C-alpha cells in the first residue's frame, strides 16, 4: 500500500495476509500492489489510486522542555493535514482547553503550543483534529514527565573540622546516577560519579571560627542544571598549657594552668603526665600535681569544647631530679697538715656547702681540697641546694 510523495512511491503499509485489514493514516491516494505466488511463479496486480484517504491526519506529538521555565512545555507536531480545527486537552478531564479553527481545511500546517502546567509530575495530553468537509477526525495523545530540577544542600552548624556530613538527599528530579559537583569552599572541588545521601568531608584544622560556603551543582538528562549553596561554620579550639619551674626536686607540687583558646566554651580538660609513673588529673582547667618519683615527665593536655571538638597540647619536658647529697674521698686516714681531696657525686646542684668538722669556715667549692691542722677524728658533711 503506497502513495506518491514528491513524485516518488512511498510505502505506507505492507501485509502478507490473504485478506488484510490495514490501518491507514494520512489523506492521500493509495496505490495497492497485490502479488500472489506459487513455487517460483508469481503474478502482480497494481491498482493505482485505488482509494483516497480523507483527512485529517497529523504527525505524532512531541514535547519541548525549557530548563529556565520547566513548567512551561511546548507541544508540537511536524504537520497536520486536511484539518480545519483541532483541540488540545492538557489535563485528561475530557474538556478541551485550547483550539485552533480555520474556515476551510489546510493542506499542511505545523504548530507548537506552549502551555503552563501546575507542577512537576506525569501528564497525558490529547489532540483531536477535525475536517468538517469530510466529517473525519483524528486523535492522538502523548504521555510525558515534567522535571523541575531543584538542588538542595544542607548541613548542621556548628561543626568540628573533621567528619562533616553534607546532605544532598532532598534534591529533586535528577537521576542519582548522574555526576554532580560539590565545592566545599576550602579550595576543594570534587566531581562525584556515585550518589550518596550525605557525604563526609574534613576541613582544615584551623584554629578559631571559620565559615565555608558550600556549593552543590546537579544536572539531569535533559541538560538542565541547578545550584544550591549553604554555609557551614567550623570551630576548632587550640590547646595550650603552662607551668613553672620545669626542673624540680622531689617531693614537689606544681600548678599546671590551661592557656587554651576557643571561641565556644570548653567543657573538659584531661591532664596526663607520662614518666616513670603516669599521673592524671581530669575535669578542671588547672591541675595541682605532687611529684615524688624522680625522672623525666611528658605533660599532655586534651581539651574538649561544648560541641565535642578536641585539641591536644604537649608542654615542655618536666625534669624531676634524683637530688641526693653524696661525695667521695680517696683518703680516710691522713697525717696532720696533709691535704684531703673531696669529690662531689651530685648533679643539678647550684650551691655546695662543705662542713669539714674541724671548726673551719664553710667551703662552697664543688670539689674542694682541705688541710687538717690537728690530729683527730672528723665528720665531713655536704649540703647542696
* Residue at grid coordinates 489523506: 27
Helix (H) or strand (E) holding 112: strand 109-116
168 contact partners, CB below 8 Å, separation of at least 6: 151, 152, 153, 180, 182, 196, 197, 198, 199, 216, 218
Positive or negative: CA dihedral 305, 311, 312, 313: negative
Rounded-to-integer distance, Cα 167 and Cα 156, Å: 9
25 contact partners, CB below 8 Å, separation of at least 6: 12, 53, 57, 138
Rounded-to-integer distance, Cα 150 and Cα 173, Å: 7
Question: CB–CB of 210/233 below 8 Å?
Answer: yes
Query: At CB < 8 A and 24+ separation, what contacts does 22-27 make?
Result: 24/53, 25/53, 25/57, 25/138, 26/53, 26/55, 26/57, 26/81, 27/52, 27/53, 27/54, 27/55, 27/56, 27/57, 27/81, 27/82
Burial of 321 per CB tally in 10 Å (0-12, 13-18, 19+): middle
Assigned architecture for domain 164-236: Sandwich (2.60)
Read off the DSSP letter of residue 160: -
How far apart are the two ends of the chain, measured CA to CA in Å?
Answer: 122
Per-residue confidence (pLDDT) for residue 65, from 0 to 100: 94
Read off the DSSP letter of residue 276: S
pLDDT tens readout for residues 111-169: 888 999 999 999 999 999 898 888 888 888 999 999 999 999 998 777 888 878 888 88
Per-residue confidence (pLDDT) for residue 347, from 0 to 100: 72
Read off the DSSP letter of residue 307: T
CATH topology of domain 241-320: Immunoglobulin-like (2.60.40)
Equal fold, 164-236 vs 325-385: yes
Positive or negative: CA dihedral 304, 308, 309, 311: positive
Triad 73, 78, 80: Cα angle to 5°: 105
Which residue positions in the chain have pLDDT lower than 50?
6-7
Per-residue confidence (pLDDT) for residue 340, from 0 to 100: 92
Rg (C-alpha) for the chain, rounded Å, is: 49
Rounded-to-integer distance, Cα 362 and Cα 283, Å: 50
Per-residue confidence (pLDDT) for residue 9, from 0 to 100: 58
Per-residue confidence (pLDDT) for residue 181, from 0 to 100: 93
pTM for this structure? Answer: 0.64
Question: CB–CB of 149/219 below 8 Å?
Answer: yes
The residue length of the chain stands at: 385
CATH of 325-385, one of 2.60.40.10, 3.40.50.10540, 2.40.110.10, 3.60.20.10: 2.60.40.10
Domain spans, the chain: 2-52, 57-146, 164-236, 241-320, 325-385
In the structure grid, which three cell numbers stand for residue 112, read together?
Answer: 507548537
Task: Please report the DSSP string for 38-87 in residue order.
Answer: ETTEEEEEEEEEEEEPPSPEEPPEEEE--SSSTTEEEEEEEEEESEEEEE
Burial of 282 per CB tally in 10 Å (0-12, 13-18, 19+): exposed
CATH 3.40.1280.10 fits 57-146, yes or no: no
Amino acid at each position: 500500500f503506497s502513495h506518491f510523495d514528491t513524485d516518488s512511491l512511498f510505502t505506507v503499509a505492507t501485509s502478507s495476509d490473504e485478506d488484510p485489514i490495514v490501518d491507514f493514516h494520512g489523506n492521500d491516494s493509495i496505490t495497492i500492489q497485490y502479488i500472489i505466488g506459487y513455487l517460483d511463479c508469481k503474478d502482480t496486480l497494481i491498482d493505482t489510486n485505488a482509494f483516497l484517504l480523507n483527512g485529517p491526519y497529523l504527525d505524532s506529538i512531541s514535547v519541548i522542555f525549557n530548563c529556565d521555565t520547566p513548567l512551561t512545555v511546548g507541544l508540537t507536531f511536524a504537520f497536520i493535514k486536511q484539518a480545519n480545527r483541532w483541540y488540545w486537552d492538557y489535563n485528561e478531564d475530557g474538556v478541551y482547553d485550547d483550539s485552533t479553527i480555520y474556515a476551510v481545511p489546510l493542506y499542511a500546517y505545523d504548530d507548537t503550543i506552549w502551555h503552563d502546567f501546575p507542577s512537576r509530575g506525569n501528564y497525558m495530553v490529547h489532540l483531536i483534529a477535525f475536517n468538517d468537509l469530510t466529517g473525519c477526525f483524528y486523535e492522538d495523545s502523548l504521555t510525558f514527565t515534567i522535571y523541575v530540577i531543584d538542588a538542595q544542600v544542607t548541613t548542621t552548624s556548628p561543626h568540628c573540622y573533621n567528619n562533616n556530613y553534607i546532605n544532598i538527599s532532598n534534591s529533586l528530579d535528577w537521576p542519582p546516577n548522574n555526576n554532580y559537583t560539590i565545592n566545599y569552599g576550602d579550595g576543594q572541588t570534587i566531581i562525584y560519579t556515585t550518589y550518596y545521601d550525605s557525604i563526609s568531608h574534613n576541613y582544615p584544622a584551623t584554629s578559631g571560627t571559620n565559615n565555608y560556603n558550600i556549593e552543590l551543582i546537579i544536572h539531569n538528562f535533559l541538560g538542565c542544571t541547578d545550584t544550591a549553596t549553604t554555609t557551614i561554620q567550623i570551630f576548632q579550639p587550640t590547646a595550650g598549657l603552662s607551668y613553672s619551674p620545669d626542673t624540680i626536686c622531689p617531693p614537689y607540687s606544681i600548678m599546671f594552668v590551661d592557656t587554651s583558646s576557643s571561641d565556644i566554651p570548653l567543657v573538659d580538660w584531661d591532664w596526663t603526665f607520662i614518666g616513670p609513673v603516669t599521673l592524671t588529673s581530669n575535669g578542671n582547667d588547672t591541675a595541682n600535681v605532687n611529684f615524688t618519683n624522680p625522672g623525666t615527665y611528658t605533660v599532655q593536655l586534651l581539651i574538649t569544647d561544648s560541641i565535642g571538638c578536641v585539641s591536644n597540647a604537649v608542654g615542655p619536658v618536666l625534669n624531676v631530679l634524683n637530688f641526693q647529697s653524696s661525695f667521695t674521698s680517696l683518703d680516710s686516714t691522713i697525717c696532720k697538715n696533709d691535704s684531703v681531696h673531696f669529690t662531689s657525686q651530685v648533679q643539678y646542684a647550684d650551691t655546695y656547702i662543705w662542713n669539714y668538722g674541724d671548726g673551719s669556715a664553710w667551703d662552697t667549692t664543688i670539689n674542694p681540697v682541705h688541710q687538717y691542722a690537728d690530729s683527730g677524728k672528723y665528720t665531713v658533711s655536704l649540703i647542696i641546694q
